[in-house]
Amino acid sequence: FKEFYSKEKTIELRQHYIPICTQLFYHDNPLKIVRASGTYMYDQLGNKYLDCINNVAHVGHCHPHVTQQVHKQTGACETNNRYLHDNPIILAEKLCKTLPEDLHQVFYTNSGSEANDLAMRLAREYTGNYDVLVLDNAYHGHLTSVVELSSYKFKNEKINKPKEHVHIVSTPDVYRGKYRNDEHTDEEKLCDLYVKDLMNVVEDAEGRGRKIAIFLIESFQSCGGQIIYPQTYLKKVFKYLQSKGILCLVDEVQTGFGRSGTHFWAFQTYDGDLCPDFVTIGKSMGNGHPVAALITKKFLTENFYKNGVEYFNTFGGNPVSCRAGIAVLDVIGKENLMENAREVGEYLIMKLKEIGNTYTLVGDVRGRGLFIGVELIKNVKTREPAIDEAKQIHYKLLEHFVIMSLDGPDHNVLKIKPPVCFSKDDCDFLCEKLNLILKEISLEENK
């Protein structure tokens, strides 16, 4: 596809037609991408950028098998979920094989937000309770019901004050959270402090007569700053909450489909026996084609039906979206991409740690597989976030043709979650540029 408008004209028209709140990356000089392939994207001038952040193009931008399968299915039939078709069944079978046996009921949706919203409906129907428990700095989507839970958003948006039915627990972030690994280096001890914190929030809410239906948690917290929790946190809090009848949801929208390198779903990296009540997935599922899902247990869906609910979603589970999902799973298997995420992720973390050892600006390098965060700080002792420096690095990386994003509550964490076909050469390119920029910035700071 060629450019239809010049970049300047596109910007001018976008300002007129597209609401200002739908922000662009690099808004001072946004990128106009016209083509993409594998781990690279190309602008209208033909410049080639290494994509370190697009976890939607999971198996690589415009993967030929996925695009060919979508094209073929689009030409064959595109109906809705009210007709029998093999594709939603084949996809459900493949997905459920990767999950605990009890999780075998699949609702197809068009977005992660819809999947999380639907889970809340099911949980409320089943428990008869209304309230929701979430981590601090969480993000679970843009619908009214889920943006209310997303303190990542409402902290900065005056219109979205926390609601009475939303109970927020401290994120078990041992680097920057409430309990840090500088004071209590034993991870298990830190974990227990965070578990206690959650129990206190639940007990306090219940003491005020509030009744909690569901706990939502990302398996690794992404927008909150690429956080990996202490190893036993999920097991302990699920045990506590499920014994109280509070249902547990893992949001795998950012983290699923083998990104962790060792397990298909990130929650499985903590404990092989964990069995949440809901798993929500999206983003990577169609490699760019809009498809998402809620996977849950039969007693919950039967209860929903018994209460008279009929679920219909016009586009959810259509044959084309499901074909995209099947193709993605096939590519992950055929190209061994989970193993690639493990091997390349380990290599990248090692290289980033080497860089981190050279510059005090790098406070922490953490991650699993190709889900990695580099936290930038001003002061080793206080861990004061290096907000301006992070911004500078972000822009300088772009000058070197590397697309990166910043996240975390202070926007001081370099967020790395590329397509899982990322190669060691891609890592070398990224690290060479990052090293160069950190050297430049450190020299400037020493002037």
Applying CB under 6 A, the residues found at the interface with ligand PMP are 111-113, 116, 139-142, 218, 222-223, 251, 253-254, 282, 292
Cβ–Cβ < 8 Å for 41, 62: no
Our CB check for ligand PMP shows the closer of 57 and 355 to be: 57
DSSP assignment letter at 219? S
Nearest to 186 by CA among 230, 227, 225, 236: 230
Q: Which tokens in the block code for residue 420?
A: 């899982």
Our CB check for ligand PMP shows the closer of 119 and 402 to be: 119
Our CB check for ligand PMP shows the closer of 139 and 371 to be: 139
CB of residue 336 vs ligand PMP: minimum separation in angstroms? 26
CB of residue 209 vs ligand PMP: minimum separation in angstroms? 29
Nearest to 25 by CA among 2, 46, 1, 52: 52
Nearest to 239 by CA among 269, 205, 270, 209: 270
CB of residue 223 vs ligand PMP: minimum separation in angstroms? 6
Our CB check for ligand PMP shows the closer of 115 and 402 to be: 115
Nearest to 409 by CA among 102, 152, 236, 166: 152
* Alpha-carbon span 305 to 302, nearest angstrom: 5
Our CB check for ligand PMP shows the closer of 60 and 288 to be: 288
Instruction: Please give the sequence-ordered ranges of beta strands (E in DSSP) within 170-264, or none if there are none.
Output: 212-218, 247-251
Which residue shows structure tokens 């004071």?
Answer: 183
* Alpha-carbon span 253 to 370, nearest angstrom: 14
CB of residue 292 vs ligand PMP: minimum separation in angstroms? 6
CB of residue 388 vs ligand PMP: minimum separation in angstroms? 25
Relative to beta strand 166-169, strand 131-135 is parallel
CB of residue 138 vs ligand PMP: minimum separation in angstroms? 8
Our CB check for ligand PMP shows the closer of 281 and 332 to be: 281
Q: Which residue is nearest to ligand PMP (CB)?
A: 112
CB of residue 363 vs ligand PMP: minimum separation in angstroms? 24
Counting Cβ atoms within 10 Å, is residue 311 exposed (0-12), middle (13-18) or buried (19+)?
A: middle
CB of residue 151 vs ligand PMP: minimum separation in angstroms? 13
Which residue shows structure tokens 């009214």?
Answer: 144
Our CB check for ligand PMP shows the closer of 179 and 220 to be: 220
Helices and strands counted in the chain (H then E): 13, 15
Which residue shows structure tokens 């602008």?
Answer: 43
Our CB check for ligand PMP shows the closer of 237 and 437 to be: 237
